[in-house]
Structure 1
Amino acid sequence: MKPSKVYYEPEVLEYRLGKELQDKYKDLPWIPIENHNNIEELRTKENTEFQKLKTLLILGTRKTHKYSPNYKVSDYLVPFTSSGCTAMCLYCYLVCNYNKCSYLRVFVNREQMMERLIRFSMKTETEQVFEIGSNSDLILENTITGNLPWIVEEFIKKGRGKLTFPTKFNMIEPLLGLNHQERVIFRMSVNPQYIISNIELGTASLNNRIEAVNKMAAAGYPVGLLIAPVILLPDWQKMYLELLDVLEEKLSQKVKDTMFLEIIFMTYSFIHRSINHEAFPEATELYDKELMRGRGMGKYSYKQDLREEGEAFLLKEIDKRFGKDKILYFS
């Protein structure tokens, strides 16, 4: 991904990464801003401009560093080197948080964030797992910043515990030769190819995602798959059967033997509906009032009976192919 423009807080040029990015993108327009969190020029854009906003790169420094306890794959969610994304998944939860300003923001004070993470990891009573990719896709970000090899190597040398992050991209080559000591858990999000093509816009194909997770497992990384989000379109059973068949056929034996599965059902919102209708008028409609119920704060989730049907179906079909013990949780 090459950005169309760079918006930047002037202080980012005092950091090594900021200087590197200034040189890398010196042929692009650079527009100074006061605060990456509130760019008036962008915040007031119409929803129809959403796709253009996704081509921007915003540079700033991360000023909030609160770790949130988590009880799934990781023990803590760690605000880290980026937020937002260039992809345009029609259900993206970051759109709920940032509205149409869910474009990619990179924070150049990576050394400060890493030092804090290392200190925190050394103070915990037991080794913890730190989720560093909950607000962005670090494989995508790495194509811009080259941060990931540095992050892995620094944490392995000085920190304690493990790192983890999910992705929908396949540009994993910079990670394959690292001395990760099996302390970096790589998680690949998968969905039927129809959903990837029509709903997860701008992300890697299913085949490319499978190839990437096979390579990461071969390189010794612990791996997991997220079947996420499960979207109950009219032919959802057929689509997810096809997905599981493709996974059974194309995942390496090492992945099948060692992986875990996270299964997450889609949450949608009125913000998604508003942006999608205006920015993607021909896109698949994800809201169905017959299938969904309100979930507070303008969000929708699937009705309980339908959700239970989906869980039972996936549990049965996964058990046939991989064993139900591979399922870490439903959410």
Structure 2
Amino acid sequence: MKFDAVYYEPDSLNYVLGKELKEKYGDLPWLPIASHNSIKEMQEKPNSEFGKMKRNLIVGIRKTHKYTENHKVSDYLVPYTSSGCTAMCLYCYLVCNYNKCAYLRLFVNREQMLGRLIKKGRESSSPAVFEIGSNSDLVLENVITGNLLYTIPKFAEEGRGKLTFPTKFDMVDPLLTLEHRGKIIFRMSVNPRELIKRIEIGTSGLAQRIGAVNKMCEAGYPCGLLIAPVILTEGWKEMYTGLLKELEEGLTAKVKKQMFLEIILMTYSYVHRAINSEAFPAAPDLYDGELMTGRGRGRYCYREDSRKEAEEFLRSEIKRIMGDVKILYIS
């Protein structure tokens, strides 16, 4: 992957990964910063620079390791080796937290983070599932850091419970031969191809994503799909019916036999509208005042009647097209 510059905490070069990144991107400008959390130069840039800001790589040390209980596909959300992303999905929930500074930040202290996670798993009263990809896309990150090549076999050997992460990318070939012992749950996020092209900017196409989950399942990884986020834009019913038909036709029998679905309706925000209008003026406006209502702190979600209609439609179409596939939740 190509970047314009690297902003780094000097102490990050004391870690193995920090040294590897310095060598890998040694031809780029390396600009020292006091903290990956606060880069004044970035914070002062206008919203119109959002896309350009994502061409910088931030390298630091993760200092907070708070585990958040979760009761969906995992037991805990775990801060792990990165946050932010190089892609520019117009609805990205990380923008709600980081505003225009939702660029990719890499944390070099992976040994410390994985050690804590393994310890937490051993101390749990029963085997737990840890979500390690809630702040970034680890398949994308792995292209830069190789962190999944480090994490998966080490957790397979020493960890108790399971790890899981979602992705919108198809670069899974390096993971196929890893020793995982069924302890890694792979989840692919999908949307209609029209929405991927217009709204999930910089991510893999639908056919490539389907191919990737087929490969991972064949390699023995437990697999699921996220239909997320469901966007109730013009023609959404036809688009999601088309998506389900492509999944039914493109997924292997092995995937369809053991997979599960997660379905998440889109949450949007005032911050998204401000950034997208300036950084992507030709992009569609995902805010719909007729279908959406406030959700606190400048966020919007679909109104209850719209959500109910979407859930009923999706459950019916999934049943009609894909049969009795397990739906973990619709939120």
The TM-score by the shorter chain falls in which range?
over 0.9
Preserved CA contact (<8 Å) 1:227 1:264: yes
SS of the aligned residue for 2:26 comes to coil
1:209 matched to which residue of 2?
209
1:71 matched to which residue of 2?
71
Cα deviation, 1:140-178, whole Å, max 9, x if unaligned, reads: 000000110110111111110000000000000111001
1:149-298 matches, within 5 Å, as: 149-298=149-298
Where in structure 1 are there 5+ consecutive unaligned residues? none
| TM-score, normalised relative to structure 1 | 0.99
- Give the superposition deviation at 1:321: 2.3
Where in structure 2 are there 5+ consecutive unaligned residues? none
- Give the superposition deviation at 1:324: 4.4
| TM-score, normalised relative to structure 2 | 0.99
Preserved CA contact (<8 Å) 2:95 2:272: yes
Moved over 2 A (4+): 321-325
1:111 matched to which residue of 2?
111
The letter for the 2-side match of 1:12 is S
Cα deviation, 1:158-200, whole Å, max 9, x if unaligned, reads: 1100000000000001110011111100000000001100000
Percent pairwise identity: 64
Number of equivalent positions: 331
Preserved CA contact (<8 Å) 2:223 2:260: yes
- Give the superposition deviation at 1:322: 2.4
The letter for the 2-side match of 1:299 is R
Q: What CA distance in whole angstroms lies between the structure 2 residues aligned with 1:220 and 1:149? A: 16
2:102 matched to which residue of 1?
102
Q: What CA distance in whole angstroms lies between the structure 2 residues aligned with 1:38 and 1:237? A: 42
Preserved CA contact (<8 Å) 2:261 2:325: no
RMSD of equivalent CA atoms: 0.7
1:309 matched to which residue of 2?
309
Preserved CA contact (<8 Å) 2:152 2:184: yes
The letter for the 1-side match of 2:253 is Q
Q: What CA distance in whole angstroms lies between the structure 1 residues aligned with 2:58 and 2:43? A: 13
The letter for the 1-side match of 2:171 is M
Preserved CA contact (<8 Å) 1:315 1:324: no
Preserved CA contact (<8 Å) 2:256 2:325: no
Q: What CA distance in whole angstroms lies between the structure 2 residues aligned with 1:128 and 1:311? A: 29
Matching of residue 85 in structure 1 with residue 85 in structure 2: yes
The letter for the 2-side match of 1:266 is M
1:144 matched to which residue of 2?
144
Cα deviation, 1:16-67, whole Å, max 9, x if unaligned, reads: 0000000000000100000000000001100000000111100000000010
SS of the aligned residue for 1:117 comes to helix
1:2-151 matches, within 5 Å, as: 2-151=2-151
